[in-house]
C-alpha cells in the first residue's frame, strides 16, 4: 500500500495510491483524522490521477523523533564514538516540508548545511512502554524518506542539536508512506546531490534495529499515530549549496526531491 497527503483544487486530503489499468490513481480519504492512512471506509472512490495533484509531506506528526549515529561508518566519519545504546533527539514539526519544497539555508547563522538521508518509520497506532518481546510491526503503518538537514557548524558549537537541526525547512519528508519494506532484512538508503550518488547505505547495517529503537523511545514518550521516527543516516554526509537539488531515494518508497536556496 502507498499512502500520501495531497492538495487538489485548494483542498488537502489523505489518499491511497493505486494502480488502475496501468495508471496511478489516488483514492481520497474523507476522514478528517490527522492520520487517515488506513481509514478509507469513507473514501471518494472516483479517484484522481496522481499527476493532477500536488503531493504534500505525507504526515502531520506531533513529534519528529530522530536517531543519531545508527550506522557505524557514519559515527566514524564524524569522529564520534560508537554508541552503546540508542541516542535520540527531536526536530520541531515547524521544520517539516514536503516533496519539491525548498530547503532554505540560514547563511546569516551557519556556513555549513548538510544533508542526511534517512529511512523513517511512520507510527500507525499509539505506542507507550513497549515491553520486551512484543512485536513492533503492528505499530508501524509504513515507511517514508526523510532528510535530516543539519547545520554541522552549529551542531559542533552547541553541543546539543536543537538549533542545528531545528530550522524551518530542515525536515523534508515524503513522497509517500509505503508498507511492505523490511528494515530488519535491509532496505537500501541513497542520497544524491545534483544526480550524483553521495550516500549508499543499507538498514542491514543499523547498530540498533527498528524494534530496539521503538522500544527504547517508547519507554520515554508516547508515540502517537502520525509521529515519525527517523532511523539515522549512513556514511557520506556532505554539504548543500544554493542551487543544488538533493534527493533521498529508498527502495520501496520512492524519491524525495528538494531544491536548495539561501533564505532571504
Ligand atoms: Zn540524522
For the stretch 73-85, pLDDT in tens is 877 787 888 889 9
Cell of 230: 527517523
CA trace torsion 68, 147, 208, 223 (10° rounding):
90
Residue 129 Cα, ligand 1 centroid: separation in angstroms? 24
Contact 181, 253 (CB under 8 A): yes
pLDDT at 78: 77
Can you list the alpha helix ranges (DSSP code H) found in 174-263? Answer: 210-218
Cα of 46 from ligand 1 centre, angstroms:
39
pLDDT (0 to 100) of residue 230: 98
Q: Same domain for 47 and 145?
A: no
- Residue 140 shares a structural domain with residue 256: yes
Nearest to 102 by CA among 255, 242, 254: 242
**Distance (Å, rounded) from C-alpha 253 to C-alpha 59?**
14
Please indicate, yes or no, whether residues 72 and 170 belong to a single structural domain of this protein.
yes
Structural domain including 10 reads: 2-56
Distance 216 CA to ligand 1 centre (A): 17
Distance from Cα 17 to the centre of ligand 1, integer Å: 28
Same domain (yes/no): 83, 212: yes
Same domain, 115 and 221: yes
Residue range 101-140, pLDDT digits in tens: 999 999 999 999 999 999 999 999 999 999 999 999 999 9
- Are residue 34 and residue 12 in the same domain, yes or no? yes
CATH number for the domain that contains residue 249: 3.90.850.10
Nearest Cα to Cα of residue 58 among 27, 97, 95, 31: 97
Question: What whole-number distance in Å separates Cα of residue 131 and Cα of residue 139?
Answer: 13
The answer to whether the beta carbons of residues 66 and 91 sit under 8 Å apart is: yes
Q: Cα of 88 to ligand 1 centre, how many Å?
A: 9
Give 234 Cα–ligand 1 centroid separation in angstroms.
9
Ligand 1 centroid – CA 66 distance (Å):
6
For residue 117, report the distance from its CA to the centre of ligand 1, in Å: 7
| Residue showing cell 508515540 | 223
**pLDDT for 33:** 58
C-alpha cell at 70: 545508527
- What pLDDT score does 66 carry? 98
**Same-domain status, 43 and 131:** no
pLDDT at 43: 63
> 232: CA distance to ligand 1 center in Å?
5
Residues 14 and 86 in one domain: no
Q: In total, how many domains does the chain have?
A: 2
- What's residue 225's pLDDT? 92
Residue 5's pLDDT is 93
Pair 36, 111 in one domain: no
Q: Are 177 and 17 in contact (CB under 8 A)?
A: no
CA 239 to chain centre: 19
Ligand 1 geometric centre to CA of 134 (Å): 26
Q: Are 164 and 193 within one domain? A: yes
How remote is the CA of residue 115 from the centroid of ligand 1, in Å?
9
CA of 132 to the centre of ligand 1 (A): 26
Q: What is the pLDDT of residue 171?
A: 98
Predicted pLDDT at 246: 98
The CA 21 to ligand 1 mean position distance, Å, reads 39
Q: Name the helix (H) or strand (E) containing 201.
A: strand 196-202
State the distance from the centre of ligand 1 to the C-alpha of 49, rounded, in angstroms.
34
Model pLDDT, residue 45: 67
For residues 46 and 71, state if they share a domain.
Answer: no
Distance of CA 42 from the midpoint of ligand 1 (Å): 37
CA of 5 to the centre of ligand 1 (A): 24
Residues in the chain: 264
Are 106 and 194 a contacting pair, CB within 8 Å?
A: no
In 3D, which of 40, 49, 55 has the Cα closest to residue 5?
A: 55
Residue 214 CA, ligand 1 centroid: distance in Å? 16
Q: Which residues of the chain have pLDDT under 50?
A: none
Ligand 1 center to residue 130 CA distance, Å? Answer: 24
How far is 174 from 118, CA to CA, in rounded Å?
Answer: 11
Last residue of a domain, one of 40, 56, 72: 56
Asked if 248 and 191 sit in the same domain, the reply is yes
Amino acid at each position: 500500500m502507498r499512502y500520501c497527503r495531497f492538495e487538489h483544487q485548494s483542498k488537502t486530503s489523505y489518499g491511497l495510491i493505486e494502480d488502475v489499468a496501468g495508471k496511478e490513481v489516488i483514492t481520497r480519504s474523507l476522514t478528517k483524522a490527522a492520520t487517515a492512512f488506513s481509514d478509507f471506509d469513507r473514501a471518494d472512490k472516483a479517484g484522481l490521477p496522481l499527476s493532477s495533484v500536488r503531493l504534500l509531506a505525507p504526515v502531520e506528526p506531533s513529534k519528529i523523533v530522530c536517531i543519531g549515529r545508527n550506522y557505524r561508518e557514519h559515527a566514524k566519519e564524524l569522529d564520534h564514538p560508537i554508541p552503546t545504546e540508542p541516542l535520540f533527539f527531536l526536530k520541531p514539526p515547524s521544520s517539516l516540508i514536503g516533496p519539491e519544497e525548498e530547503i532554505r539555508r540560514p547563511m546569516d547563522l551557519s556556513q555549513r548545511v548538510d544533508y542526511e538521508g534517512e529511512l523513517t518509520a511512520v507510527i500507525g497506532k499509539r505506542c507507550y512502554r513497549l515491553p520486551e518481546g512484543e512485536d513492533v510491526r503492528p505499530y508501524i503503518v509504513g515507511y517514508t524518506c526523510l532528510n535530516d538537514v543539519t547545520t554541522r557548524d552549529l551542531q559542533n558549537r552547541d553541543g546539543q542539536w536543537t538549533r542545528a537541526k531545528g530550522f524551518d525547512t530542515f525536515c523534508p519528508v515524503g513522497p509517500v508512506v509505503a508498507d511492505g519494506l523490511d528494515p530488519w532484512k535491509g532496505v537500501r538508503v541513497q542520497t544524491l546531490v545534483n544526480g550524483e550518488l553521495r550516500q549508499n547505505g543499507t538498514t542491514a547495517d543499523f547498530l540498533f534495529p527498528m524494534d530496539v529503537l521503538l522500544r527504547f523511545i517508547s519507554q520515554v514518550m508516547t508515540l502517537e499515530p502520525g509521529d515519525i521516527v527517523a532511523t539515522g543516516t549512513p556514511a557520506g554526509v556532505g554539504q548543500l549549496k544554493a542551487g543544488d537539488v538533493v534527493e533521498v531515494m529508498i527502495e520501496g518508497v520512492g524519491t524525495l526531491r528538494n531544491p536548495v536556496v539561501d533564505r532571504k
